[in-house]
A and B are shown apart, each in its own frame.
Chain A
Amino acid sequence: MTSQNLIDFILLREPNVLLVVAGSIILCGMSAIVGCFTFLRKRALIGDAVSHSVLPGVCLAFILTGEKNPLYFLIGAIISGMMSLLIMEGLTRSRQTRPDTAIALMLSVFFGIGIVLLTSIQHSGNASQAGLDKFLFGKAASITLEDIRLFAFSSAGILSIIFIFLRGFTAISFDEEFAVSIGFPVRWLRFALSFLTVWAVSVGIQAVGVVLMSALLITPALAARMWTHSIRFMLFLAMLFGMLSGYLGAFVSYSAPAMPTGPWIVVAATFIAAVSMVFAPNRGILAQWFERRKNTNKTLEENILKLFYQIAEKTGESSKPILEEDLVNYRAFSKSQLKLGLRLLQKKAFIQFHLSTWKLTDLGEIEARRIVRLHRLWELYLQQYLNLDSDHVHDDAEAMEHVITPEIEAQLDEILGNPKVDPHNTIIPPK
């Protein structure tokens, strides 16, 4: 592909490119918004089953009308998707089968029927059937103007219903029983949401096909959830991610015509989700890894500081210089850990290195005293309020001392009555 082609694509100069890009973006953005509710209501598998279940409807629409009219396909798909969904819910509610069984059953039964119908159409000798199998993996590359009209109409309808009833949909997604108790028409809302999902799926299969449709519902929602805690912003982000996936998918299949659009849309969506899961603040894997490392380092530093204090306490000499090897003798640090901890403390100016020995600075001394104080206060609290034996409190205190905030410290001090000694009869350093 030449750079001229690339520019043509980006500027949407070719009318055909414009159709494909517009179609993919509309479908993917709309599916992503609907999918947020599928995701939040933990109905991802139901979404997948519904996507597979629309196939017989599409085939029947063709058999009955003999035409490849997107509107007929849409109506057929919605009817068969709703049927599958209602049977699924009926089976689950009557306790004839468990939910997972009902989902798997409807997915395979409806998809099976769909494939049977599709095969018989293909062997019927009807010349106009060519391309019907595109419903399996999508036909974004051959989107027509008529398709776009239907997509735009459907998306506008679905999105306006979602925004008009956003409060109701949010309420049933978070706490359905509460929604019933305040008199919201929960049954109706639930039905509306199901219907919107089926509608979205029935339109969306034109781009990615029934097999991959559920990825379009769930993946952008998953990615968006990583970045935000606000449902409105989540809807917006999911839409954006969906649209971006649609654009990227269209781009790949344009630059390499042998490549199918639908699967590439899904690949792009998955890539966005993967990036989100790794890099999102707070919830992302990296952020959590950094936080864990920060905590481990804090624990390590504080344990070393405590050790300096205890050695000084034992020998009676405050701020006594200590050899690195001696530190290991007092407490089981691994050598590399100790080195890391000492380096971090030095950076914070809590300790200083002088003639192959380590020594607390004034700042370090204050910090060490604070940690020892927290440790001993906590031991005393455990002993007095949880009736733990004095030889049992040490390990608990060891873990807790690192998370006690100044507020909790003040509270401990108060309820223990400004204690002077801990359960082992050692002095609690004053503040």
Chain B
Amino acid sequence: MPEIQNPSLEAHNLTVIYHRKPVLWSIDFTLPQGQIIGIMGPNGAGKSTLLKAILGLVPLNSGYSKVFDKDLGDVRQRVSYIPQRQTVDWDFPATVMDVVLMGRFQKRGMFQRISPEDKAIAQEALEQVNMQDYASRQISQLSGGQQQRVFLARALAQQADLYLLDEPFVGVDAATEQSIVELLRKMKSEGKTIVVVHHDLHTAREYFDWLVLLNASLIACGPVEDVFTDELLKVTYSGKLTVLSQVGDQLRERNFPVREK
């Protein structure tokens, strides 16, 4: 694996076990800055869990991750997370603007007032995703593509350097997908790093500069032209790793710990 100067994100020996079933096994990788990076793998490969593990949303069983060579807690201001939009209840009593302003909560903390400057930033974020006409719209009235764009606007309002997007193209129409991709490229041109959990192989080569192939363990990580090969994809998507999952099933069934201590 090539040596990377100034990495955006590093994982070292990351292992996550959900209810005794290993979801991520000893993941090690280093990602560069200023690129659009795809995390790909079949269903249940642990793609979303990898993002959550990095953000501390799920407990780690071993390993650690670093963001801009620091602990996440020290650089939280520079990181923005965009969860899958299905994880929230869109019938919540809030307007589009309310949700985008949540992107400013990080900077303002729990008590500082939201200033006119914050509102201007949120407004600009809405313009970037072309949702400025919807600022006062109830979020329950949005389509799937619009919901995704609101989430993106909230992330833009965070003014971060590293963006972690979980499946942003699921249930989104083609036009929205294109406009999101264009926006991501624009963010890249401003020096941002963008990590996207994605599952559509057809668009991978077009969208990403760099690729992480994952199937519970790390298959490959590198520039897209090195990694997006028939051979590696076959390893990722074929059943070659079933022995690994069988061992996982055995551990769970027989109530064995995955690590010996």
Which residues does A use to contact B, with CB under 8 Å? 40, 42, 95, 164-165, 167-168, 171, 173-175, 177-178, 180-184, 225, 228-231, 234
Contacts and interface: CB of A to CB of B under 8 A. Distances in A.
B116 interface: no
A181 B79 contact: yes
Given A174-B99, A231-B93, A231-B94, 8 more contacts: A40-B93, A177-B55, A177-B57, A177-B83, A178-B102, A229-B93, A229-B94, A231-B92
B19 A182 contact: no
A171 B79 contact: no
A66 B57 CA distance: 47
B87 A230 contact: no
A276 to B, nearest CB: 14
Contacts of A234: 93
A174 B88 contact: yes
Interface stretch (B104-112, B186-194, B208-216): B104-112
A54 to B, nearest CB: 28
Contacts of B44: none
A184 B102 CA distance: 12
Contacts of B93: 40, 225, 228-231, 234
Given A174-B92, A228-B93, A229-B93, A180 B110 contact: no
Nearest to A232: B93
A164 B111 CA distance: 7
B250 interface: no
B138 A229 contact: yes
Nearest to B139: A229
A183 B73 contact: yes
Contacts of A175: 83, 87-88, 102
A95 B81 CA distance: 27
5 contacts: A177-B87, A183-B106, A229-B94, A230-B94, A231-B94
B76 interface: yes
Question: Lowest 7 A-B CB distances belong to which pairs?
Answer: A181-B81, A182-B106, A229-B138, A183-B76, A175-B88, A168-B110, A231-B93
Interface residues of B, number: 29
Nearest to A179: B105
B26 interface: no
A171 B88 CA distance: 11
B257 interface: no
B63 interface: no
B94 A174 contact: yes
Interface in B79-125: 79-81, 83, 87-89, 92-95, 98-99, 102, 105-106, 110-111
B245 interface: no
A168 B106 CA distance: 11
B106 A180 contact: no
B102 A229 contact: no
B140 interface: yes
B111 A167 contact: yes
B83 A165 contact: no
Contacts of A178: 81, 83, 102, 154
Contacts of A184: 105, 110
A167 B138 contact: no
Nearest to A175: B88
A40 B99 CA distance: 16
A320 B140 CA distance: 47
Contacts of A173: 92
A231 B102 CA distance: 14
Interface in B187-224: none
B56 interface: yes
A225 B102 CA distance: 21
Interface in B1-59: 19, 52, 55-57
Contact of A182 (B52, B76, B92, B98): B76
Contacts of B81: 177-178, 181
A165 B111 CA distance: 8
A174 B83 CA distance: 12
Nearest to B112: A167
B121 to A, nearest CB: 15
Contacts of A228: 93
A42 B138 CA distance: 20
Contacts of B89: 42, 174
Given A40-B92, A95-B19, A167 B105 contact: yes
Contacts of A231: 92-94, 98
Contacts of B57: 177, 180-181
Interface string B127-141: 000000000001010
A400 B246 CA distance: 51
Nearest to A283: B140
B194 to A, nearest CB: 15
Nearest to B104: A182
Contacts of B99: 174
A296 to B, nearest CB: 21
A182 B105 contact: yes
B231 to A, nearest CB: 35
Nearest to A234: B93
A49 to B, nearest CB: 21
B88 A165 contact: no
B92 to A, nearest CB: 5
B19 A180 contact: no
B70 to A, nearest CB: 14
Given A178-B81, A181-B79, A229 B110 contact: no
Nearest to A282: B138
A20 B105 CA distance: 42
A183 B88 CA distance: 18
A104 to B, nearest CB: 22
B107 to A, nearest CB: 9
A173 B98 CA distance: 13
